[in-house]
């Protein structure tokens, strides 16, 4: 059998978009495919980790040996994440969580009328899941976030690392259509408070394997200090 260096290590990963209902037939969401999170779950499970994948709505099969929890909204993802986090060694927030949800969900389909030329939706902020995990006072897992940026990638990534109190942040430049959202290829730079690691352009599968190895190394390094 292949080497199982992550045997006994509990890894929780969020993946995919969240979906925020407007009325019974409409929602607000984003273009996240979930591929990166699913590739990370696959890579971690292949190394023997005990993997839980908290997934928004995606068109992907559950990786072999992975426990999958399906959620729809950011609030559901938050509840599930907080439940899993206290019993996780490593928490990786790969989901593209909707920053806002509709303040008042309409119970019936919103109708267009002859006298309305527009419609205003009031939105309220969703909880920041990964910042909440990283702020846990007891049983806090080693916490890894993602940052998809279109400019000043390093600067914004370092700001997020600090502001959300993460151990690592994985940053990718989504202004390049060949990389990031919905593509098969990706390139990522990982930042800790003291170092950075560049993982150049490669398939999401290869990138996920390199990322899991790097995250595990940094997790072990942190445990020793
Ligand atoms: O602030 P921003 O959305 O760019 O941060 C991205 C990181 O934060 C990702 O790791 C994402 O999964 C996480 N996040 C979260 N909850 C939110 C928003 C983002 O966990 N409400």
Domain-located, residue 5: no
3-state SS, residue 147: strand
pLDDT at res. 181: 63
Q: Residue 45's domain spans which residues?
A: 10-224
Q: How many residues does the chain have?
A: 225
Is 172 among the catalytic positions? no
As a whole number of angstroms, the distance between CA 124 and CA 147 comes to 22
Domain-located, residue 86: yes
Question: pLDDT class for 182, splitting at 50, 70, 90?
Answer: low
Distance 148 CA to ligand 1 centre (A): 9
Annotated binding site: 93-95, 99, 109, 127-130, 146, 160, 164
pLDDT at res. 195: 95
> Region 92-108: what's the mean pLDDT?
97
Q: What does the pLDDT look like over 43-66, one tens digit per residue?
A: 999 999 999 999 999 999 999 999
pLDDT at res. 114: 86
Average pLDDT, the chain: 94
3-state SS, residue 75: helix
Question: pLDDT class for 175, splitting at 50, 70, 90?
Answer: confident
Which of residues 121 and 184 earns the better pLDDT score? 121
Domain-located, residue 110: yes
- Among the atoms of ligand 1, which is closest to the Cα of residue 92? 10
Q: Are 49 and 41 in contact (CB under 8 A)?
A: no
Domain-located, residue 155: yes
Q: What does the pLDDT look like over 127-161, one tens digit per residue?
A: 999 999 999 999 999 999 999 888 999 999 999 99
Q: What is the CATH number of the domain that holds 43?
A: 3.40.50.10300
Instruction: Count the alpha carbons within 13 Å of 129 in the hemisphere toward its beta carbon.
Output: 32
CA angle 197, 203, 209 (to 5 degrees): 55
Does the pLDDT of residue 172 top 80, yes or no?
yes
Does the pLDDT of residue 165 top 80, yes or no?
yes
Question: pLDDT class for 180, splitting at 50, 70, 90?
Answer: low
3-state SS, residue 115: coil
pLDDT at res. 5: 95
Q: Which residues does ligand 1 sit against, CB inside 6 Å?
A: 14, 74, 93-95, 97, 99, 126, 128-130, 145-147, 160
> Region 209-221: what's the mean pLDDT?
97
- Among the atoms of ligand 1, which is closest to the Cα of residue 170? 10
> Region 178-206: what's the mean pLDDT?
87
Task: Exactly one of 30, 87, 182, 186 is catalytic; name it.
Answer: 30
Domain-located, residue 1: no
Domain-located, residue 3: no
Which of residues 182 and 142 earns the better pLDDT score? 142
**Chain position carrying tokens 């969401």:** 29
Domain-located, residue 2: no
Annotated binding site for CTP: 93-95, 99, 109, 127-130, 146, 160, 164
Q: Closest Cα to residue 74, out of 16, 145, 137, 135?
A: 16
Q: Give the ipTM.
A: 0.97
Count how many domains the chain has.
Answer: 1
Domain-located, residue 123: yes
Q: Closest Cα to residue 166, out of 212, 109, 114, 218?
A: 218
- Angle, in degrees to the nearest 10, between helices 35-46 and 204-224: 60
Does the pLDDT of residue 115 top 90, yes or no?
no
Does the pLDDT of residue 178 top 80, yes or no?
no
């Amino acid at each position: 059998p292949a080497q199982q260096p992550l045997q006994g290590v509990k890894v929780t990963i969020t993946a995919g978009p969240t979906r925020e209902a407007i009325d019974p037939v409409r929602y607000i969401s984003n273009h996240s495919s979930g591929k990166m999170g699913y590739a990370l779950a696959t890579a971690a499970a292949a190394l023997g980790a005990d993997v839980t994948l908290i997934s928004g709505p995606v068109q992907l099969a559950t990786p072999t040996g992975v426990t999958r929890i399906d959620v729809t909204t950011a609030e559901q993802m938050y509840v599930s994440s907080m439940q899993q986090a206290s019993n996780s060694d490593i928490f990786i927030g790969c989901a593209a969580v909707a920053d806002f949800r509709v303040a008042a969900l309409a119970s019936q389909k919103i109708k267009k009328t002859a006298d309305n030329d527009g419609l205003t939706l009031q939105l309220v902020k969703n909880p920041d899941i990964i910042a909440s995990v990283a702020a846990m006072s007891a049983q806090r897992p080693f916490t890894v976030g993602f940052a998809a940026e279109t400019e000043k990638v390093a600067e914004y990534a370092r700001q997020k690392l600090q502001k959300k109190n993460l151990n690592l942040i994985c940053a990718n430049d989504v202004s390049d259509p060949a990389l990031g959202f919905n593509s098969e290829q990706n390139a990522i730079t990982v930042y800790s408070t003291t170092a950075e690691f560049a993982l150049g352009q490669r398939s999401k599968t290869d990138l996920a394997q390199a990322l899991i190895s790097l995250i595990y190394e940094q997790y072990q390094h942190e445990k020793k200090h």
